[in-house]
Amino acid sequence: MNRKGEILGTHQGLYHYTIGQRRGLGIANPVPLFVLDFDQEKNALIVGEEAELYQDQFTVTDVNWLLAKVPETIEATIKIRYHAKEAEGQVICQDGKVEVRLKEPQRGITPGQSAVFYQGNRVIGGGKIERKK
């Protein structure tokens, strides 16, 4: 299904797909479609165009800090996957939540993956990317 809730086809089980995947969807469409998200409750694979893969904000949970005192706002570079290039942004700590705001949208920010925060070459913290509500 797409983000509008329109059914576009069937899938072979959600565990067969990853965020950003293009091949093997089996959906005929004028423009290429990519896996954007999963709706476990509806057993639905959410697909859309490549531009929809890009985000500039996300929440991180289970954060481990390597700082003696964690400021409310931290300028940092953030890595959203092992082979990804670091992206500049802010890490905002408020009310027990950690929000990340990137200067440039990044492709395929995936819930369950790690986000690691850096200042220079030094790791200052990291946690798990949370699923969008």
Question: Six-digit token pair at 126?
Answer: 């990291």
Q: What is the rounded average pLDDT of the residues 58-67?
A: 94
pTM of the model: 0.82
Arithmetic mean of pLDDT over the chain: 91
CATH 2.40.30.10 intervals, the chain: 53-129
Residue with tokens 């481990």: 64
Q: Which own/partner contact pairs does 37-41 have at CB distance under 8 Å and 24+ positions apart?
A: 37/132, 38/14, 39/1, 40/14
Could you identify the residue written with the tokens 């991180």?
60
How confident is the model over 31-62, as pLDDT tens digits?
A: 999 999 888 899 999 999 999 999 999 999 99
Distance CA 73, CA 52 (A): 27
**Each residue's pLDDT tens digit, 77-106:** 999 988 888 999 999 998 878 999 999 999
CATH of domain 53-129: 2.40.30.10
